[in-house]
Chain A
């Protein structure tokens, strides 16, 4: 059920997007869906609660996080999250960031459980990947060290 709602919502967004460029709607209408309180949350659990309605998750071995053990530069940390599960959403949080929620990816039914991006980390922290599948949350995490450079840094 959730998935159909997502698709319907997305078509509306596209149409709203077109309306924006045609000058008919103000941009604020398009951004109504942006989860402001989730991004403002200061704790992982609060961000997840706000974003997915629950912060209860099970640890899963079916979620792979590819991220460096030691980040070369905390401003640009390449990460990839992949899972074999039927993923409706993939959420990435950096536990020690002042606001842990980094990004959330809502996936259509034909999208694979795979996202890759580059994130900012303020200091050494767990990178937490949460996968929403069948309405439930699964999670994996990886510790990424962030250091102060000596000369390049």
Chain B
């Protein structure tokens, strides 16, 4: 019942009906995908991994010029070096991950039954550091973003495949993320969906709004605006600030659940991080 009320509330607040009430994640995914494939009929599903560049040729040309020698390559190298440098206790990051941490970016996010929370890769990286007696890193940029760049790079080309187990807590996390996405916030009183679903492809001043489908595939991202690399939660924080809402702490449950929902919505698209954007 709680699930029904949450969805109905979200729908009532927005006044649009993108999802059927009492829908399963699978139904949500079908509806989400169908909406974007219909809105952008000439864009194959795969291309949504390239965000606004899948729907606008002028900016795509500039992006392709940058991808000739993308600035995130520096971060991939830095990340690889940090990843392979042993901790004071002699162990390395490889000891904390499946397959030595190579090609496993797609294992995240997942619902952790022991902690009862969504576990993300940045959180796992810090857990690894703390477990080995090292200090945790900041979640938005710098060393952690570089490590993410390396780990994303070794996983490029793999299919996004987030699982939502038949567990009430996992479903609650998913629903929480979904409600966040469709809920209004901030002084501008807008939701993620207002821009990235209802107005995807439209302009907000001189920016073209990128579609929500495929949104998370390319993180961490080198933004020209940042002049450097940043993580998904850093971007969430910035977007929240832009509608003049108080951002949540990076790796808070709110952002973890949002990541869980959003990544699931991109299931079937390939991981293509790290990426370059304006």
Contact = CB atoms under 8 A, between A and B. Distances in A.
Interface in A112-128: 116, 118
B6 to A, nearest CB: 27
B245 to A, nearest CB: 13
B204 A73 contact: no
B205 A149 contact: yes
Contacts, number: 60
Contact of A72 (B205, B239, B278): B278
A149 B207 contact: yes
Contacts of B74: none
Interface string A112-153: 000010100000000000000000000000000001111111
Nearest to B205: A150
Interface in B223-265: 223-225, 227, 239, 242
Interface stretch (B40-48, B61-69, B96-104): B61-69
B62 A72 contact: yes
Contacts of A75: 224-225, 227
Contacts of A148: 205-206
A69 B58 contact: yes
Nearest to A80: B65
- Counting chain B residues whose Cβ lies within 8 A of the other chain, the interface size class is 20 to 34
A152 B226 CA distance: 10
| Dominant SS among interface residues on chain A | loop
Contact of A149 (B61, B206, B239): B206
A78 interface: yes
A118 B206 CA distance: 21
B195 A151 contact: yes
B211 to A, nearest CB: 14
A71 B62 contact: yes
**Do most interface residues of chain B lie in helix, strand or loop, or is the interface mixed?**
mixed
A151 B62 contact: no
Interface string B50-93: 00000000110111011000000000000000000000000000
B204 to A, nearest CB: 3
Contacts of B61: 68
Given A70-B58, A71-B62, A72-B62, A150 B224 contact: no
A90 B85 CA distance: 44
B95 interface: no
Interface in B97-145: none
Contacts of A72: 59, 62-63, 224, 278
A153 B206 CA distance: 9
Interface of A: 68-73, 75-78, 80, 116, 118, 147-153
14 contacts: A68-B62, A70-B206, A72-B62, A73-B224, A75-B224, A78-B62, A80-B65, A118-B66, A148-B205, A150-B204, A150-B205, A151-B204, A151-B205, A153-B207
